[in-house]
Chain A
């Protein structure tokens, strides 16, 4: 079963490299991050045994990634809304 996960990970890598050479506009980023997310999830669930761990472990793992999203989300909320108020630079 580890081998199946392993093959899936290699497949995902190949896919992401191939997809990089295809022009999908902004979807490129989405595709790449999705594949990376799937690969990471496979490692977390199977290699790191979260699939068979307590709910607490699962919550801890999720909390880490979620907190990153807070940093990215609120942080980029600044950068991406600059210049939205007419007549200001901010």
Chain B
């Protein structure tokens, strides 16, 4: 086991060390390297892998972050299923479905944007995809703003001003507490996403991204898709509870 000579046994170890030759023994400054390579990484490949892994680990924290709210939802829906049903009917299925479709389209355009960077498409093309994605994101937020305004108008915002005309007012208020917390948190993430996209568009315009370096685009895309996935679960859980009990 303690062989002592670095070359006498095949070098086991981290699989990302793809080079066949021994890496050790050189100083980083001896290499000509990509201007975006940070000095503590050995090569762009390692940097890209670390960045994507980092974003995935962050997304796991986001899953658990939203997860707390989903847990609250589970508990309260289990406790008052009829109330939740009743309250959910007041939500606008059309808006909800439209928003779902909008986000799905924005995910498509984002994926195409990542691909455009990956294939060294001209900066204008990359920016185009990013901007289209942002437009759909903004549209989503616009519709949510309309929905929220309607809630305020109808006095179904939880708190002292809450007035529920139908059955199960307690449960309905709970439903709307969760509705606002969950969609609100989601909307905040969308806004942050738009901010990230803005930065991405500006840097893409400068021609920074191509096949050799497109990690920020990939990583931003991961974030965007994640926010889409949260909505994919939010939509049926909030908008589609027991719709069959009323006429469509």
Partner-B contacts on A (CB < 8 A) = 2-3, 5-6, 9-10, 13, 16-17, 20-24, 28, 32-33, 35-36, 39-40, 43-44, 46-49, 53-54, 56-57, 60-61, 63-65, 67-68, 71-72, 75-76, 79-80
Question: Are B115 and A2 in contact (CB-based, < 8 A)?
Answer: yes
Interface residues of B in 231-248 (CB under 8 A from A): 232-233, 235-237, 240, 242-245, 248
Beyond A13-B97, A57-B52, A76-B74, whether A22 also contacts B244 by CB under 8 A is yes
Question: Are A2 and B112 in contact (CB-based, < 8 A)?
Answer: yes
Between-chain CB contacts (< 8 Å), 24 pairs:
A2-B111, A6-B107, A13-B101, A16-B235, A17-B240, A20-B243, A22-B244, A32-B240, A40-B232, A43-B225, A47-B107, A47-B111, A48-B221, A60-B53, A60-B60, A61-B60, A64-B63, A67-B60, A68-B67, A71-B71, A72-B74, A75-B71, A75-B75, A76-B75
Smallest Cβ distance from A41 to chain B, in angstroms? 9
Q: Give the bracket for the number of chain B residues in contact with chain A.
A: 35 or more
Interface residues of B in 207-248 (CB under 8 A from A): 218, 221-222, 225-226, 228-229, 232-233, 235-237, 240, 242-245, 248
Verify if B192 is at the interface (C-beta below 8 Å from A): no
Partner-A contacts on B (CB < 8 A) = 49, 52-53, 56-57, 59-60, 63-64, 67-68, 70-71, 74-75, 78-79, 93, 97, 100-101, 104-105, 107-108, 110-112, 115, 218, 221-222, 225-226, 228-229, 232-233, 235-237, 240, 242-245, 248
